[in-house]
Structure 1
Amino acid sequence: MPRTVDRRSLLLALGAAAVLAGCGAPPEPAGETPAPSPTPEPAPTATPAPTLPPVPGPRPGPNQVISHGPAPSGPADRRIALTVDDGTAPDVVAGYVAFAERSGVHLTFSPNGSYNRAWAPHAPVLRPLVAAGQVQIINHTFTHRDLRKIGDKDRRDELERNDEWVVRTFGATTRPYYRPPFGFHTPEIDGLAGELGYTRTVLWDGSFSDSQTITPEFLMEQARKYLQPGVINLGHANHPTILGLFDQLTDLIRERTLTPVTLDEMFGTSRATG
């Protein structure tokens, strides 16, 4: 005998089915299409970091002593070479490196490898600046000995050992520039340097006079006297006086519309050729 379906139960079942059907997503309104997903922005292309050229071999030749930049090419040529020797004080080396990094000022460093503990920690910062041409490193001998008081073998060792240290630490040769310690040199010493590829003996015609401890006032007096177009200026990374004066020196350079350059930039030489 067929089972009788209770009318009330049937109505409840139909109502539940309708509720479940209503839980689905509502149909799209007629005439409308879904908004397209936004296209992601392409990732910016990173500018490749400058790379250091292969280290060239020595290019022996006659030596030339230089203490001033070449004749200006015109009134707008207001180049000046700021050079920094030694590195006996790690905090002063760190200050100069930080100054170069934040200001973009072009500098030429003349360090001694015997002060490796002060210089080596800054190789990760200095290598890219050297590769970009903002910083140059020249030879100042390994131990800062008076070259007049030692023989040719030791002179050769002082120059070659320091260049090997610079190449190992900063990735570029110091040739063709060397600065004799204390500025003491002879034609015989310069001739030997030329045989090793150091065809430029670099002296100076301006100085902060800071090889010894001086006052900030005296250093700025020297700066106002010597920071002029064409000057090769000498400073030292040995005493802390300079650390509080970088902003004042930058202001002076701007006021005089000077363009700090490396020795390579001043004389048209290159690390790629030595």
Structure 2
Amino acid sequence: MHRGCAGPSRRQFLGLLGVGAAAVLTGCAAPAAETPAPAVPPPPPPLPPVPAAAPGASKVIFSGPTTGGRIVLTVDDGTCADCVAGYADFAVRTGTHLTFSPNGTYAREWQPHAAALRPLVAAGQVQVMNHTFSHKDLRKLPEAKIREELERNDEWVVSTFGTTTRPYHRPPFGFHDATIDGVADGLGYTRAVLWNGSYSDSETVTPQFLMSEAAKYLKSGVIMLGHANHPTVLGLFDQILALIHDRQLTPVTLDEMFGTSRAVGAAV
């Protein structure tokens, strides 16, 4: 006859008490404790669908309003892999709002950081504007090639960061004319972004020089030009941020400064 789990004898009972095996009193082993599943972080907010182009009249932007303490920190190019990594880490680590102006020709330098930057793009902390695919002087190109440079770069940005660059573009070297503006306008790039402050780091500079330029230009309303091309800036992020905080400035994206939206790729 089946008797289920057999109970222990008196001698077994005393021995089991000595080793604390109370669970065996009934002759049945206690179930093993379940290991809790690791916490899963919430997914980033979804990126809006890429909107259709909204052609319009061109506007050249050099600066923002000089009241309110807001500044736009822009970062061009991306020839230096360590520099791109440094700027991506700076954005993640500090929560500073940045506007990147990368060229798709440097996709190898940007791709390793796409996963880290996409949630920041979705949250509105990071913006990406069009700086053309190859960083060529657009004045020397026919209209078809100008169009190709802008369209190809936007396609790369969408595939890499999940967002359109419209309505902002920065012509390489700041060079633009009526032909360039006309092509850009027709593609929905109605805001040509130049700058009124710079670290002057398109070439290698010393840390002292870069910080002197930062001290000169980081003021309310500035659109600051920086580059992810040379490693000097890598040791200066905290000093730059401290200067910004000391002057009670607030870094914002172009969208935040000028009331535009990735959701529609135009002014709202």
Instruction: Return the TM-score normalized by structure 1.
Output: 0.82
Once the two structures are superposed, the pairs formed by residues 95-110 of structure 1 within 5 Å of their partners are 95-110=86-101
Structure 1 residues 64 and 22 mapped into 2: Cα distance closer, same or farther (>3 Å)? closer
Instruction: Give 1:192 deviation, angstroms.
Output: 1.3
Q: Is 1:234 the equivalent of 2:229?
A: no
**What residue in structure 2 maps to residue 161 of structure 1?**
152
Using the alignment, how far apart are the partners of 2:222 and 2:40 within structure 1? 40
**What residue in structure 2 maps to residue 262 of structure 1?**
253
Using the alignment, how far apart are the partners of 2:66 and 2:213 within structure 1? 23
Structure 1 residues 136 and 21 mapped into 2: Cα distance closer, same or farther (>3 Å)? same
Structure 1 residues 250 and 153 mapped into 2: Cα distance closer, same or farther (>3 Å)? same
Using the alignment, how far apart are the partners of 1:188 and 1:176 within structure 2? 17
Using the alignment, how far apart are the partners of 1:227 and 1:102 within structure 2? 21
Using the alignment, how far apart are the partners of 1:212 and 1:124 within structure 2? 29
**What residue in structure 2 maps to residue 246 of structure 1?**
237
Cα RMSD for the two superposed structures:
2.1
Structure 1 residues 234 and 21 mapped into 2: Cα distance closer, same or farther (>3 Å)? closer
Once the two structures are superposed, the pairs formed by residues 69-108 of structure 1 within 5 Å of their partners are 69-70=64-65, 72=67, 77-108=68-99
Q: Is 1:61 the equivalent of 2:56?
A: yes
Q: Is 1:221 the equivalent of 2:216?
A: no
Structure 1 residues 127 and 153 mapped into 2: Cα distance closer, same or farther (>3 Å)? same
Instruction: Give 1:188 deviation, angstroms.
Output: 2.0
Larger Rg: 1
Percent identity of equivalent pairs: 66
Structure 1 residues 23 and 213 mapped into 2: Cα distance closer, same or farther (>3 Å)? closer
**What residue in structure 2 maps to residue 196 of structure 1?**
187
Using the alignment, how far apart are the partners of 2:164 and 2:187 within structure 1? 12
Using the alignment, how far apart are the partners of 1:111 and 1:155 within structure 2? 16
**What residue in structure 2 maps to residue 50 of structure 1?**
45
Deviations for 1:153-183, whole angstroms, at most 9, x for unmatched residues? 0000000000000001110000000000000
Unaligned runs of 5+ in 1: 1-18, 25-40
- Give the aligned residue type for 2:221: G
SS at match of 2:202: coil
- Give the aligned residue type for 1:82: L
SS at match of 2:201: coil
Structure 2 residue corresponding to 1:185, chosen from 176, 184, 190: 176
- Give the aligned residue type for 1:200: R
Instruction: Give 1:44 deviation, angstroms.
Output: 7.9
Instruction: Return the TM-score normalized by structure 2.
Output: 0.84
SS at match of 2:251: strand
Structure 1 residues 45 and 159 mapped into 2: Cα distance closer, same or farther (>3 Å)? closer
**What residue in structure 2 maps to residue 272 of structure 1?**
263
Instruction: Give 1:50 deviation, angstroms.
Output: 1.3
Structure 1 residues 103 and 148 mapped into 2: Cα distance closer, same or farther (>3 Å)? same
Using the alignment, how far apart are the partners of 2:75 and 2:92 within structure 1? 15
Structure 1 residues 255 and 144 mapped into 2: Cα distance closer, same or farther (>3 Å)? same
Unaligned runs of 5+ in 2: 1-8, 15-35
Structure 2 residue corresponding to 1:113, chosen from 67, 85, 104: 104
SS at match of 1:254: helix
- Give the aligned residue type for 1:52: L
**What residue in structure 2 maps to residue 8 of structure 1?**
none
Deviations for 1:22-59, whole angstroms, at most 9, x for unmatched residues? 959xxxxxxxxxxxxxxxx9x98954421111111101
1:84–1:235: 8 Å Cα contact kept in structure 2? yes
Instruction: Give 1:186 deviation, angstroms.
Output: 0.5
Using the alignment, how far apart are the partners of 1:180 and 1:271 within structure 2? 20
SS at match of 1:157: helix
